[in-house]
Structure 1
Amino acid sequence: MTANILFAAQSESWDRYQTPLTRALDRTGLAYDLRLDFAPDQVDYIVYAPNSSVQDFSAYSRLKAVLNLWAGVEDVVGNPTLRVPLARMVDHGLTRGMVEWVAGHVLRHHLGMDAHITGQDGVWRTQVPPLAQDRRVTVLGLGELGRACAASLAILGFAVSGWSRSPKTIAQVTTHHGDAGLAAALAAAEILVLLLPDTPATANILNARRLAGLPRGAIVINPGRGALIDDAALLAALDSGQVSHATLDVFRTEPLPADHPFWAHPRVTVTPHIASATRESSASEVIAENIWRGETGAPFLHLVDRALGY
């Protein structure tokens, strides 16, 4: 039996994905038909980007699963017409990209590189940074991306703590969980990395009270989601010196508006949502494997827990 696969994303995504996804599906040995358009009652799987034109799933009567092309599912998980399994994108390329971006910026702030890169003013700056073992880094969020980043920072020698909603165990990482553990995780964060999902429970998790719980002069690095931070509270903490610098890759509105105060603040680095991106070749392998699983009766990988939102 042929598996009918609807590719529901922007046209430029089809241009990038058609060849690698076809190759990955061919390697499964399945009979399939991959298209941009089907009658809804003929679709078995939807390869999906939340910004596609497909927003009502109720007509897809034989649909087996929706396979998200993005790591984030906050724009689809609450859709009341979606009643089949939803898989998020967990992709080796995406994970490695995030690890490299996070490690690069943690090392940048740990070593004080900005002073030497921008301070070409004739001043001989001799301050030596501590070793990584003496620098405390905390990662909030220990899902696939957070676990990988925490583990990699620990391998580099940093004193790493992590926090998650439920208990996690990671070699060489001190882990905390639940409401009680959050204060302890923040108190250990000379450098704080935010890698939580965007859910009602995580909105503004870094507010004025929690920013005050950081060591004075802490660094905030956010490649997770813009809604994790109360922007006004962060700006106030930067102005007071409670936070010495914020490197931000994600924002509530993207692109970040030209008049947003983050652009002009001397203690903020803005990067344009480039910390990590899905690589078409490796993402296609993930999609193809889940379709193979659906057709052979194996359990789907990377399913979203609707109650938790990720």
Structure 2
Amino acid sequence: MSILYRSDAPRAAAWARYFAEHAPDLDFRVWPDAGNLDEVEYLIAWQAPAEFIAKLPRLKVFFSSGAGVDHVDFSALPKHVPIVRMVEPGIIDGMVEYVTLSVLALHRDFFDYVEAKARRTWDPLEVPPASSRTIGVMGMGSLGSAVLQRLSSYGFNLRGWNRSLREMDGVESFAGPDQLQSFLEGCDVLICLLPLTPATKGILNRELFSLLPAGAALVNVGRGPHLVDEDLLEALDSGRLSRAILDVTEPEPLPAEHPFWVHPRVFLTPHVASMTQPESAAPILLGNLRRHQRGEPLSNVIDRSRGY
């Protein structure tokens, strides 16, 4: 039985070592040393072109090496091939760290102090209690729920918005398009952790920003296409939004001439908020693969009709 890993090259060796030690009966291959593609039954990948998928006639399962599946061309994969997204502690912990850092930096005015330092200005700002801030998370899946749980320890008022209602202790929950405005009207910091689907593409736009309290901040750790760049720049320049922290852009890498690079109210990172960690991901994926071998249901299979 052959498994092909076609994803993050620097982590490939760690994946290969794990499978060699814990699953020596499996033929684990790393792209581009794939051997005969006719033999590959399981694919672990981030991006796999349609013409490549067509060369895998015996493919049984497609494992995404990341939490999202928007990079997958569903039409290129036969309908009988399940698409499994990655859910593992390393991804969740990384996202929780990044979002917590972002929220606390906004809450405690760290970006204002960076600017003050550049001006050599000693200008203490009022420190409001966390209970005076409302943090809203769009997307209450495994990542969004973990973020909300961690933020609850700081005493923030918390809100969550999801496609369907998802209750959490200590979180005011909203669901669906009809409740989006009510959700947004109270958010001082808005965090986007939505999956990218046709319904969510461009959701971070002028209309949405107009519903937030004046001076609210945005943290986008979903996908670049969630955001309408021109609308964000307009909202920042008008004062409708105070700051934006962006870990994702469209395209990636962001072109050097893009205005986000020089805008004083935009903080950029190169899609590093959360990354799959082989040490925690490989055991979970292997366990899922073994379940499939035994004829048991796979975990974390996406619904193609929803796109996640």
Which amino acid is 2:29 matched to?
R
Question: 2:128 aligned with 1:134, yes or no?
Answer: no
- The farther-off stretch of 132-141 and 13-22 is 13-22
Higher RCO (C-alpha 8 Å, min separation 6): 1
CA distance in 2, matches of 1:24, 1:181: 48
Question: Contact 2:50/2:76 (CA < 8 Å) preserved in 1?
Answer: no
The structure 1 residue matched to 2:90, chosen from 67, 90, 93, is 93
1:32 alignment counterpart: 26
- 1:156 offset after TM fit, Å? 1.8
CA distance in 1, matches of 2:212, 2:234: 14
2:46 alignment counterpart: 49
- 1:15 offset after TM fit, Å? 3.2
- 1:67 offset after TM fit, Å? 1.0
2:282 alignment counterpart: 284
Which amino acid is 2:91 matched to?
L
Taking the TM superposition and a 5 Å limit, the aligned residue runs for 1:4-19 are: 4-9=2-7, 11-19=9-17
1:249-284 deviation digits (Å, cap 9, x = unpaired): 100111111110011111111111111111111111
Question: 2:101 aligned with 1:107, yes or no?
Answer: no
CA distance in 1, matches of 2:268, 2:110: 16
Taking the TM superposition and a 5 Å limit, the aligned residue runs for 1:137-286 are: 137-286=135-284
- 1:56 offset after TM fit, Å? 4.4
Does the residue aligned with 1:44 lie in a helix, a strand or coil? strand
The structure 2 residue matched to 1:70, chosen from 66, 69, 73, is 66
2:77 alignment counterpart: 81
CA distance in 2, matches of 1:81, 1:126: 57
1:113-172 deviation digits (Å, cap 9, x = unpaired): 222233134544233221111100100111111111111111221101010101101121
Question: Contact 1:57/1:82 (CA < 8 Å) preserved in 2?
Answer: no
Question: Contact 2:100/2:151 (CA < 8 Å) preserved in 1?
Answer: yes
Question: Contact 2:46/2:71 (CA < 8 Å) preserved in 1?
Answer: no
Unpaired runs of 5+ residues, structure 2, are: none
CA distance in 2, matches of 1:60, 1:307: 23
CA distance in 1, matches of 2:303, 2:203: 20
Question: 2:296 aligned with 1:302, yes or no?
Answer: no
Aligned-pair Cα RMSD in Å: 1.9
- 1:109 offset after TM fit, Å? 0.4
Question: Contact 1:189/1:218 (CA < 8 Å) preserved in 2?
Answer: yes
1:20 alignment counterpart: 18
2:291 alignment counterpart: 293
Which amino acid is 2:276 matched to?
T
Question: Contact 2:19/2:28 (CA < 8 Å) preserved in 1?
Answer: no
- 1:111 offset after TM fit, Å? 0.8
Unpaired runs of 5+ residues, structure 1, are: none
- 1:16 offset after TM fit, Å? 4.1
CA distance in 1, matches of 2:43, 2:112: 49
Residue 221 to residue 119, structure 1, CA distance change in 2 (3 Å):
same
Question: Contact 1:167/1:177 (CA < 8 Å) preserved in 2?
Answer: yes
1:158-204 deviation digits (Å, cap 9, x = unpaired): 10101010110112111100001111111111000010111111011
Residue 76 to residue 22, structure 1, CA distance change in 2 (3 Å):
same
Residue 24 to residue 100, structure 1, CA distance change in 2 (3 Å):
farther
Question: Contact 1:8/1:53 (CA < 8 Å) preserved in 2?
Answer: no
Which amino acid is 2:93 matched to?
R
CA distance in 1, matches of 2:213, 2:300: 36
Identity of aligned residues (%): 36
**Number of aligned positions between the proteins:** 303
CA distance in 2, matches of 1:9, 1:274: 16
Which amino acid is 1:209 matched to?
E
Question: Contact 1:77/1:306 (CA < 8 Å) preserved in 2?
Answer: no
CA distance in 2, matches of 1:228, 1:10: 24
